[in-house]
Structure 1
Amino acid sequence: METQSIAKNLVYQRKLKGFSQEELSEKTQVTVRTIQRIEKGDVNPHLQTIKLLATALEIELDDLMILENPKQENIQTKWLLLLHGTPILGLILPLCNILFPLFLWIHKREDNVLYDTHGRKVINFQISITLLYLLSFVALVTIEGWGFLFFIAVIPFSIIVTFINIFKAINTQKCYYPLSIPFIKTNAIAKMIVVLVGSVTMLTPSKTDAQTIKRLDGSSISTDSLTNKINQLVNDAKIQGIAVTVFNNNKVVYEKSFGYKDYEKKLPFNETTNIYGASFSKAVFGVLVMKLVEQGIIDLDTPLESYLPKKIHEYKPLTRWHDDYSALKKDSLYPQITARMCLSHTTGFPNYRWFESDQQLRVLTKPGTRFSYSGEGLIYLQVILEKITGKNLEELAQEFVFKPLQMNRSSYKWQQKFALDFAYGHNTIGEKYEKDIDNEPRGAGTLETTALDFGQFLKAVLDHKILSKKSWNELFKNQINIKSKRQVGALSLEDGTQNDGIQLGYGLGWGILQTPYGFGTFKEGHGDGFQHYFILFPKAKTGIMIMTNSDNGEGVFKELLEVAIKDIYTPYEWQNYFPYNRK
């Protein structure tokens, strides 16, 4: 694309329609900053971005971009060959001279202006020549002599024109079909045909067939617009793979994946690809613990060490590191820790012991008094539960969560069956990390799952399955108010008021915030090459889940949340979710 030409065209068309940059941003969900950069010629915009702008301005795509150079994706000769060549099959199969190019055009028309233009011309010609053939047949039986010549000339004429245009399209990307009646001339007619064909051929609805997604504020967005927006974000933020699931009325109404599980080999990422869940593990673990509370195995407010016949630091470690509590021998605070404190991140433990200068575990603040994000706290609770029940974490999770919800490709440990289809994590420049497959099961962060499986889990949460209503209410009850400026890092030790408006707090393994649409509950996931987020609004029966295998993933969360469901409440600064285009 010629950046300067697009810049001038956008300025002209925007002013012609009387839109300010802010108004155009609101109509398209393209940020004001991006529009400003396009109009200055500072960026080469993605095709999906131009589509969003053209749609909002109610103009043709080629009013913004130059037809002779429409390549955001490479023009593939094979598609032009198929568009112009498949009508020949109509010599064997009746009407296939129309149907084959029609279906190709419907499939590819939005990918590139050239496909759309060529497709229309091919279909118009084939419909015209078919009508001409019917007229020639009438002439054959009604006009002696000339009717026969007319009849035998139609098919050779159509074949000659077709072959000429095959070679012309491949070599010059241009075509000319004489005697064509412009049946498909306007976008309105084109859209009518697409809808008609779609309604005839698509007999069973899929999860992405919902025409619109209802957002928190009552507005809506079409699934096509959301897909276009995600494609734009994936391209601009350089995200290798992403899966997005949206819930309306407690049902999955949008479920789609983009990009690659292995960017180097260009292997596609999909909803059934296994992906490292990172701290999504904690959300599942919170539900598991509440199930054990329901069964009377553990109480939320009983000091955990009191369940054991001896001190936790007296046990010989059975794992490489995570159940080694020898460093707590001289610690006087840890015996106060309860399950409630572990799940609400108020144990006083650091996030992980290796963040300490001597890599030794200790309690840093009085248990139960301050939010301090801690994977160690959940692991401590896990170890206690394993000793109480005589079962390991994986056995408990399979019994009470994964199997009841048919999460057949989810586990707290790597399974060999995952090797057939799994996602690599990628760094900020697209290089893949080595896959870690030797983690010992830990409730704080070793979950392996899929977008499909975890979507089922979140739907079960919205439907209040697995647990009783009383347990769900307890899990989502705010246990601790959060004042820290950041969730982790140096600023987590400093307090501020920026999240007072949403009454930020923590439940039992899940973050909690308040909105005009009821409370929201969320969880992040962050590891090398994997960045995830979900937020549910149970009273509004709405939610979204985002899973990525890229260190660039978090850079699109704020914009995607706002576009998809109008979530303007997620505390993205507290979570260090800074937009990819923020300078």
Structure 2
Amino acid sequence: MKTFKYITLTLLAIILWAVFIIYGISDGFILKSLSKDESPEAFVEATKAQIEQEFVGNMAMVLVENGKVAEQFFHSEDKPVHENTVFQMASVSKWVTSWGIMSLVQNGQLDLDQPVDDYLTRWHLPASDFDNSKVTVRRLLSHSAGLVDDLGYEGFGPDETVQSLEESLTKAADAGYSDGVTKVGVAPGTQYMYSGGGYTLLQLLIEEVSGQSFQDYMTETVFKPLGMNNSTFDLALRPDLELATLYKSDGTVSAPYKFTSLAAASLYTSAADLTKFLLANINPNPVLKPETITQMTQAETFIGQIGVYGMGPHLYSQNAEDSYVIGHDGNSNRPTVNTAARIDLMAKNGIIIMEMGSPNIASTLADEWLFEAAGIADFVVIQRNMSYLIMLFSIGALLMIIGAVVLARRKRG
């Protein structure tokens, strides 16, 4: 009976130890940071170590502390990269596009909750089994309009013909892994469904309401007022820009791809310009009023009880009370692009990573920054800590077993 008692108590202690470790993972206090002392300088050194482990063609990184640039890091395989070198940004385009939309809302030219079809003449949503009138600007911005396109634009090569906006919305030729049809397939307002097609629809909306091309409108409304002089959605119109060499993941060089969906995927910008945009989210700026930014950074779309999207930016803080991190990541396979831009609206700390050649290092490093800056640990951080966690659990369990054996022998003696 005594042996059974010791075994039971030991197993209970091991279970409690496992629960403690799991709690430590979820709360973050048991996990190790990527950098040594969680300073911007240490994060740059950790980044250098990371990119030595895989191919990274070009990279630009900016770290913001207390609303000011604290550190910058640039890496290149060929010609030097600097703060004004232009990178393809992929889906970070959507966050910048949302500023163009919200400027129209702020000026009374758009109603967030009006059916988007009411504003359109050149193209309309195809008939569906759901109420298309519930597809609104608010829901398109927050990926809750019920669109099931699953786009994902891959763009068009140098010798390929670029579709018109209307053709792309009807069936995108550069869809890649989906059928590319922008249509309502889920009841609008009921769930989060990431939609590139929704932002192509917003691009059309901007053109219809403003009477300008999307490129001209965004240049005059967002880029010029913020001083983003090395930014464009249409690379062909800015041959003066110094474009970073585009790399594929195998290390070969790629030509730039062209996009119909400028709003969803085609932003080209520099580290210096994107820093200006990032800081405009926490400082007075000539484009959007503080109350407009507050409105667009509130949770509109949820997964369970966690807010995941506002009207444009992704929400990273997972309902944390002492941080409010917003931003967007971007990925492309043609060429291999991974980008991330995030800012904590409370602490005024942020990160920008623009990278070509690796499919995920920018998002991985941004997740590591999120853990260091806000204590929020996702799969990336937990996976990096896994061997340490297994060792920690094993040592604790072994000590408990040894302790139980020693105690049992003393009792017998």
Do both proteins adopt the same fold according to a TM-score greater than 0.5, normalized to the shorter chain?
yes
Alignment of 1:32-181 (within 5 A): none
Larger radius of gyration: 1
CA deviation profile, 1:277-334 (whole Å, cap 9, x unmatched): 11111111111111111100001001111234x5834xxxxxxxxxxx6xx1566533
Structure 2 runs not aligned, ≥5 long:
1-30, 152-170, 388-413
Give yes or no for contact 1:554–1:578 (8 Å, CA) kept in 2.
no
Match for residue 79 of structure 2?
267
Distance in 2 of aligned mates of 1:518 and 1:470? 19
Match for residue 158 of structure 2?
none
Match for residue 515 of structure 1?
320
Distance in 1 of aligned mates of 2:38 and 2:354? 23
SS in structure 2 of the partner of residue 539 of structure 1: coil
User: Do residues 442 (structure 1) and 262 (structure 2) align?
Assistant: yes
Q: Structure 1 residues 220 and 578 mapped into 2: Cα distance closer, same or farther (>3 Å)?
A: closer
Q: CA deviation at 1:421?
A: 2.2
Give yes or no for contact 2:87–2:268 (8 Å, CA) kept in 1.
yes
Give the fraction of aligned pairs with identical amino acids, expressed as a percent: 23
Distance in 2 of aligned mates of 1:244 and 1:564? 17
Q: CA deviation at 1:477?
A: 0.7
Alignment of 1:441-520 (within 5 A): 442-465=262-285, 466-483=287-304, 503-512=306-315, 513=317, 514-520=319-325
Match for residue 549 of structure 1?
356
CA deviation profile, 1:165-202 (whole Å, cap 9, x unmatched): xxxxxxxxxxxxxxxxxxxxxxxxxxxxxxxxxxxxxx
SS in structure 2 of the partner of residue 443 of structure 1: helix
Distance in 2 of aligned mates of 1:563 and 1:295? 34
Give yes or no for contact 1:554–1:577 (8 Å, CA) kept in 2.
no
CA deviation profile, 1:493-540 (whole Å, cap 9, x unmatched): xxxxxxx6xx34210011123324222112111112110112211111
Give yes or no for contact 2:215–2:232 (8 Å, CA) kept in 1.
yes
CA deviation profile, 1:551-572 (whole Å, cap 9, x unmatched): 3443772487349943442645
Match for residue 376 of structure 2?
569
SS in structure 2 of the partner of residue 372 of structure 1: coil
CA deviation profile, 1:238-289 (whole Å, cap 9, x unmatched): 222221111111111112212x2xx4xx222222111111111111111111
Structure 1 runs not aligned, ≥5 long:
1-24, 31-218, 314-324, 484-499
Give yes or no for contact 2:146–2:186 (8 Å, CA) kept in 1.
yes
Alignment of 1:333-482 (within 5 A): 333-349=131-147, 350-352=149-151, 354=175, 359-415=180-236, 417-418=238-239, 421-436=242-257, 438-440=258-260, 442-465=262-285, 466-482=287-303
Give the total of aligned pairs.
329
Q: CA deviation at 1:469?
A: 1.9
Q: Structure 1 residues 302 and 549 mapped into 2: Cα distance closer, same or farther (>3 Å)?
A: same
Alignment of 1:212-291 (within 5 A): 220-221=38-39, 223=41, 225-258=42-75, 260=76, 263=77, 266-291=78-103
User: Do residues 527 (structure 1) and 332 (structure 2) align?
Assistant: yes
Distance in 2 of aligned mates of 1:409 and 1:364? 38
Of 27, 32, 35, 1:29 maps to: 35
Q: CA deviation at 1:356?
A: 7.7
Q: Structure 1 residues 520 and 560 mapped into 2: Cα distance closer, same or farther (>3 Å)?
A: closer
Distance in 2 of aligned mates of 1:445 and 1:28? 30
Give yes or no for contact 2:150–2:195 (8 Å, CA) kept in 1.
yes
Cα RMSD (Å): 3.1
AA in 1 matched with 2:324: F
CA deviation profile, 1:466-486 (whole Å, cap 9, x unmatched): 211211111111112124xxx
Give yes or no for contact 2:351–2:366 (8 Å, CA) kept in 1.
no
Give yes or no for contact 1:464–1:472 (8 Å, CA) kept in 2.
no
Give yes or no for contact 1:246–1:543 (8 Å, CA) kept in 2.
yes
Distance in 2 of aligned mates of 1:329 and 1:337? 12
Give yes or no for contact 1:555–1:578 (8 Å, CA) kept in 2.
no
Q: Structure 1 residues 358 and 376 mapped into 2: Cα distance closer, same or farther (>3 Å)?
A: closer
Q: Structure 1 residues 578 and 245 mapped into 2: Cα distance closer, same or farther (>3 Å)?
A: farther
Distance in 2 of aligned mates of 1:544 and 1:569? 15
CA deviation profile, 1:447-472 (whole Å, cap 9, x unmatched): 11111111111011121422112111
Distance in 1 of aligned mates of 2:230 and 2:366? 30
SS in structure 1 of the partner of residue 61 of structure 2: strand
4+ long deviations beyond 6 Å: 576-582
Going by fraction, where is helix more abundant, 1 or 2? 1
Distance in 1 of aligned mates of 2:195 and 2:99? 17
Give yes or no for contact 2:299–2:309 (8 Å, CA) kept in 1.
yes
CA deviation profile, 1:131-176 (whole Å, cap 9, x unmatched): xxxxxxxxxxxxxxxxxxxxxxxxxxxxxxxxxxxxxxxxxxxxxx
AA in 1 matched with 2:202: L
AA in 2 matched with 1:427: K
Distance in 2 of aligned mates of 1:340 and 1:516? 25
